[in-house]
Structure 1
Amino acid sequence: MQGSRALAALLGAPALLAVALLLCGLGRPPPSLQRELEQRRRDLRLLSARARAPPARGLGCAAVRGATGVGWVGSGITKLVLGALLPPPSGQRVALKSVHGAGRDVSRCVRRHGHPDGCRRLATYKLLKELVLLRSLRHPGVVKLHGQCYNRSLDPEMKVTTILELGTPLEMIQLLQTPWEERFKICLDLIQLLHYLAHSPLGSIALLDFQPRQFVLVDGVLKVTDLDDASIEELPCQVDDDCKLEFPTKSFSLKCTAYGKCEGINEKMNLFNAYRYFFTYLLPHTAPLALQPFLKDILNATGELRYGVNETLKAFQKVLHLYKSGLYLQKKPSHLKEYVALNVFHMDSEDYKCWLSYSNLGCMLSVHNAEEAAAICNSHPHCQRFIVTPKKTWTGRPLALFQSNLTDLILGGNMVAYVKGSAAQRESL
């Protein structure tokens, strides 16, 4: 009960203001707002017919009412997102999304039309549109819809809550401090999503409000979580001059097709936004030297829109193949022969740290094999030994632990430590 009361309070916040606005806004909406409501209703009806979304299923109002541990996750112009723990048997953490009554979308509408009831309903159409799209689009890069709740004590359009996967918001500054392999994965996830959106069952879809805040990470997978501003229509045109794709620092001229649509404008809009918000920052920073020319080609081609999503995805897949196979490694004299291999018991102990480490306790990096690990150890002034651990990254590459301390090695275990020959002689291992 305590969780239910907390949920009701948060969903209705600020409660007193909401009640006051509702009392002021009773009655039929003014004609200008009524026209907007009717237009939104028509748009939703057309989208639903085109989407042919499967019948609503999954969790419903009982799950929302029984949720506990409710807390604020985020809010935007239109929507409020709360995190909550569902009751058994599910017991999972989810995101509950509803109209943000105190958000700018509703507030601006109230100032313009003076009808809070109608303005909340107008905003709810955005949530309903997103609900239709989430039920229609099935892809790992689209946040999963677990269910929805309609509060039937009011007009069904007045109180809608969607139950979604709960993700972690993207923090670009933090991402820049993660290993390159993890940042590459985010960019790869994104281009795979954009490839799906360009060829979706509804046609080519543009994310009109394309920002990092529209995405979350769920178990390390990048997912789009905000679709209310998505467009399934490509810009109509009569001549090529109608097909200008403009961004703050660059503009592009596209072709007007024979059937009166700007050719590929949705796909190209998504791709350039991916370039300026994600690829530019996440792809080149600390990438392996041998892969940088391939990454530079991706940046140049997407920044000039010379590539479409098909070509961009192929370019990413090529980089992934080179990285996973180790073909990117430059052939150099072997460093591994300078090391003595010893069977040891592995002990996690705090040691020297390195940039972009997978561990907060020491220096742990992704490697292709022991040979690459030896080359890395040679490049670190503090490194005296390394262990290729059983831990793997998402590409299947092992993680190697680099250390300077030799005194805690215990011989006789089933792990192999590679110790610099000179250091082994000094310690008489």
Structure 2
Amino acid sequence: MSLAALALLLFVSIFLLVLYGYPVAFTLGGLSLIYALCFLDLNVLTLLPNRVMGVMENSVLLAVPLFIFMGIMLEKSGLAERMLSSMAGLFGRVRGGMAISVVVVGAMLAASTGIVGATVITMGLISLPPMLRRGYPAPLATGVIAASGTLGQIIPPSVVLVLLGSVLQVSVGSLFRAALYPSLLLVGAYIVYILLLGIVRPKKFPERDEPLPRDRKFWLNVLQSLFLPLLLILAVLGSILVGLASPTEAAGVGAAGAMLLTWTQGRLDKTTLDTVCRDTTHLTSMVFMILLGATTFSLVFRELGGDRFLVALIERSDLPEYQFLALVMVVVFIAGFFIDFIEIVFIIVPVVTPVFVAYGTDLIWLGILLGINLQTSFLSPPFGFALFYLKGVAPPEVTTGHLYRGIVPFLIIQILLLATVIFFPEWLGVR
């Protein structure tokens, strides 16, 4: 068997073991080391320490634990509840106003945290019961919450984009800038869909969403609940987009700002800080263990000639760039049913990147397409992770069938956005 065939066998073996349930980090690193010991010169492994240290010294990756800390801290602050209450009052006179409020708050939480699981669970806990009480059908309510909760995959600052920037070796700030317009278009498309549904099928919505009196106290509450999160978003995103700070520096500002916001809500105490630090350490350790395993896999795969084999295979097949792109998008979409986005970023993306480099593909554009695709896979039945998160906090009367039916329109919207970014990237400033 040739070394290139062994490289492909390594990739397939890892993928199957991950699907079977073995820990991703140890599967990536362990199986790659076994292949290296069996089929490569042992001198190859002397390259591994330098690769590992190169990863650990990458200052951009410092943004990962800082953004995770920021997201978990904001989850504990209670600001999401205040924002939802204020936005529901603001849109209360519009049919479907509560649903629009969920989309807007979900987008703001995404821009503040970038962590999908935390956003979906938070939105499910604070918005699903009141939506059901006000007469929203369960499929519509769950669809809006799940779709809004996954906006953190593509709205900067996104942990997904930070990791993609590291793997694709492109500027994270450039990815953030490129993701801005598609993410705003997606939020706008969600809102337009809800408004159109209110016109075409008004029975899906309650008559009124119990608007609050628009007095001075109401406007003061709206200002207070929205001002602090908007200030944090401006501090984090604004400093990156105008070039005042790197993503890592902005993540540090965001982490400090999240602590300050939690303190202003009276929820910053030793217990909260202990919980946030423990959860941040757990998630960060998981990400970096997978990253180190992926580094080992990448080294062995390339030494076996896997990347050169794939490039040569595509060249011999004369497959056009867009056909190969479509193939990768389908593979990533399907893989998202079964494995987490971190695993996809570190297993699949490094394998296909050399092929796109050979095509001369714009890697910033590719990163945005992968980010949107990963967000879509989070919502796709039957294994969408966002649906599992929401089902875990939903009332007993909300069934899995409700979740599956409710998410279909939003999946269609996201697929249309993905197609728009593929065929008209210049419209959105992505390419």
- TM-score bucket of the superposed structures, by smaller chain: under 0.3
Structure (1 or 2) with the greater strand fraction: 1
Structure (1 or 2) with the greater helix fraction: 2
Q: TM-score, normalised by structure 1?
A: 0.27
Q: TM-score, normalised by structure 2?
A: 0.27
Q: Which has the higher contact order (CA 8 A, sep 6+)?
A: 2
Larger Cα-atom Rg? 1
